Structure 1
């Protein structure tokens, strides 16, 4: 009996009073599998969230943690020891290269800031590990191509953290509404984020705290004077370390729409916006931006504002699909289908799994409504590690969604639309734009496209 069938039957026959996380562990152990050895690079907020969801669905052994913040990695090690079956405390490192030198892990999770995704992910693939990497997969397009090439060269399974593809109610919306044709011809999709998530403070530069290796934290990015805004979570306010709200939030919704509608590359990207309202804070990302991703007969239009009120308070971050037979709104919290002509509407809310996984109730900073999606994403990742098939958010899909969002920012920066040639992997007839596909790396770090 193969492992997946055994797991399915074990879960189906279990009593409702036993936590599903325990059942997963029993099923895998009974199947005689040696636990996968896991390392986490980037042990902050979402690193712990991702890792602990993996621990919930498989009896992995977390052997190593890495972070440039000594306090953060020590806290994570204590927490992991309480949550994994062995109760062992993982080894801790401040440099991912030292962790990977051990060559004793099967799975590496990369949950660093965006400017640190490419190098450790590629190094882990080269070492022989399968990789989970957070979105967006990199800060420039050449990084993403290098990551895709490395995954294929080394035959690694790489799952990107675009977990909308594994969100149960969104899978239902795709299958019951879109795939069944209830929207009819979809000729416009709007995606959007109206969260007030952009940093608004303007603290002075200061000396880095003694527990943070700021030189290593900066890595290949430009070395700027330390500012308390950048660590631990508000580095996204700076273009040096990411791609702003488009790179953070649009990538999720664009990827979700592409998956739901089975779309590939956009043909043309156009974006405009800037800092139109909040001109006093230190943040240098846009507070207002629109972008149009042209998929031929389907435009997908992104809008974000980090100020003002959302048009629909029930959907401050999400997607609206407009068809000639109906409209579908979808978000991490719910979906709403409304047919034309007064037919049967449908509303479905996210189902949190707090009884099945009671540790979710007390876990610090956990997005409880997202935890089921991460667990589903991890299960898909594990199944593909076994089968060696591509996961639902394969690195190629992550590269397409990430590249599209970076192109939107480049369009806004340059003030013109960009036509993308996916076969040649370059912008058509635009030498100036193509020079921006790869950011310069700070020495001694070398860009993976130059390796």
Structure 2
């Protein structure tokens, strides 16, 4: 388990008072920076919308400095220099390049933040770890199933820290939900329902294409990488999530967050069976990724998971969880957790009011003999418990705080490669089921299709 925020700040203050303190790696682990007070030199690989957003959150953690950026579009490199380059408060002479391998060759880079299109996740992460860099890898960890074992084995063989970027695993709200479920707040869990609906062009991945987009300003061959070789296409470059050659559809973009949250809260390693349906219902613009996806999953712990994404929901963006148990429900909405308890009736099937007066008396006597501590009216009782994260709280920042804590201490992160593969592997079962038109099976322990 990584350091929590309070412990992390305490370690930082102690280090400030004793800068000569040395933090040694555990036997067999890669060497750590010489002190928890050292600045972590960070590089960004993939400076699009998500990459820039991630970097803003990462730089809110003290003791972190951005020193290099790689991207296949010149305009993003220029913009990163404007945001974080020479002359800013960061006092950084920011190095920029189209080729991330130039960043990996730099000895001043300790860790990289990878926010490339999905089809580059594995190669960039493996190359970074082999170059001795720790890795924060955006979700989904994989684009295709063979990516997972290679990333896991590389993290182990190189002794590098790899954390996957699904921030709910570091959320105080999700930690509270985990605690409540384990305490029996809603009884025995039997079903989890989650959704992430949208109804905007931007939310459906129709990101803007810069006016200067061209083969001259964009490194199209490098962007394609292992993907099929096709002629220059600005929409594919800037709106890559719409095509399976580069992205993983709504399953890889959004379902994976819901799986990460479910697995963190329940402690499960994943489902054993998946059945999905959906299709292109509105955004028939040349994309091959469905804009509506529904999926059902069986879990060996005895509950079912129901997931939904709809890019044409006719309303505002909506996202949340509902955990249903034998004694109540627990809902997560944003950074708020609400528990409603509704204990089950002890004598199901009828109420006292259906009897005659004499029968009511006889029933009460029999009932209280059998259940002396629970009056018949107990079924009408509800109790509500509500938890909300502090105002201004950011689980994105906490997720980076946890990552940098792991970089310093060499402790395993809150969302390591195995956790990341189990979340992404489960999510991509939806695509596989939809493609095959049938249920598919998965072994969450071995992380393999059955």
Is contact 1:185-1:323 (8 Å) kept?
yes
Counterpart check, 1:216 vs 2:217:
no
Distance in 2, matches of 1:156 and 1:116, equals 19
Deviation at 1:352, TM superposition (A): 4.4
SS of residue in 2 equivalent to 1:230: helix
SS of residue in 1 equivalent to 2:143: coil
Distance in 1, matches of 2:208 and 2:398, equals 39
Give the TM-score, by structure 2 length. Answer: 0.79
Q: 2:148 aligns with which of 141, 144, 149?
A: 144
Deviations 1:340-371 (A, max 9, x none): 14433234445443xxxxxxxxxxxxxxx7xx
Distance in 2, matches of 1:273 and 1:264, equals 25
Q: Describe how 1:90-169 pairs up with structure 2 within 5 A.
A: 90-169=94-173
SS of residue in 1 equivalent to 2:59: helix
Deviations 1:216-255 (A, max 9, x none): 11211123343343343x3211111111111111100111
SS of residue in 1 equivalent to 2:91: coil
Counterpart check, 1:344 vs 2:383:
yes
SS of residue in 2 equivalent to 1:245: helix
Q: What's 2:377 paired with?
A: none
Give the TM-score, by structure 1 length. Answer: 0.79
Q: What's 1:188 paired with?
A: 191
SS of residue in 2 equivalent to 1:61: strand
Alignment root-mean-square deviation, CA: 3.0
Distance in 1, matches of 2:432 and 2:334, equals 28
Is contact 2:120-2:225 (8 Å) kept?
yes
Is contact 2:322-2:332 (8 Å) kept?
yes
Q: Do the aligned partners of residues 334 and 226 (structure 1) sit closer, same or farther apart at CA in structure 2, a change above 3 Å counting?
A: farther
Counterpart check, 1:263 vs 2:268:
yes
Is contact 1:202-1:280 (8 Å) kept?
no
Q: Describe how 1:37-52 pairs up with structure 2 within 5 A.
A: 37-52=41-56
SS of residue in 2 equivalent to 1:133: strand
Is contact 2:139-2:166 (8 Å) kept?
yes
Counterpart check, 1:389 vs 2:411:
yes
Q: Do the aligned partners of residues 9 and 25 (structure 1) sit closer, same or farther apart at CA in structure 2, a change above 3 Å counting?
A: closer
Q: What's 2:395 paired with?
A: 373
Counterpart check, 1:172 vs 2:176:
yes
Q: Do the aligned partners of residues 158 and 337 (structure 1) sit closer, same or farther apart at CA in structure 2, a change above 3 Å counting?
A: same
Q: What's 2:421 paired with?
A: 399
Distance in 1, matches of 2:81 and 2:213, equals 26
Distance in 1, matches of 2:419 and 2:237, equals 29
Q: Describe how 1:60-71 pairs up with structure 2 within 5 A.
A: 60-71=64-75
Gaps of 5+ in 2: 22-34, 343-379
Q: Do the aligned partners of residues 83 and 150 (structure 1) sit closer, same or farther apart at CA in structure 2, a change above 3 Å counting?
A: farther
Distance in 2, matches of 1:98 and 1:416, equals 45
Q: What's 1:416 paired with?
A: 438
Is contact 2:8-2:405 (8 Å) kept?
no
Q: Do the aligned partners of residues 24 and 192 (structure 1) sit closer, same or farther apart at CA in structure 2, a change above 3 Å counting?
A: farther
Is contact 1:7-1:24 (8 Å) kept?
no
Deviation at 1:305, TM superposition (A): 1.6
Distance in 2, matches of 1:331 and 1:63, equals 36
Q: Do the aligned partners of residues 91 and 202 (structure 1) sit closer, same or farther apart at CA in structure 2, a change above 3 Å counting?
A: closer
Deviations 1:329-350 (A, max 9, x none): 2133433222214433234445
Is contact 2:69-2:94 (8 Å) kept?
yes
Is contact 1:207-1:226 (8 Å) kept?
no
Q: What's 1:19 paired with?
A: none
Q: Which runs of 4+ in 1 moved over 4 A?
A: 4-7, 23-32, 82-86, 199-203, 422-425
Distance in 2, matches of 1:187 and 1:101, equals 50
When Rg is computed on C-alpha atoms for both structures, the one with the higher figure is 2
Q: What's 1:8 paired with?
A: 9
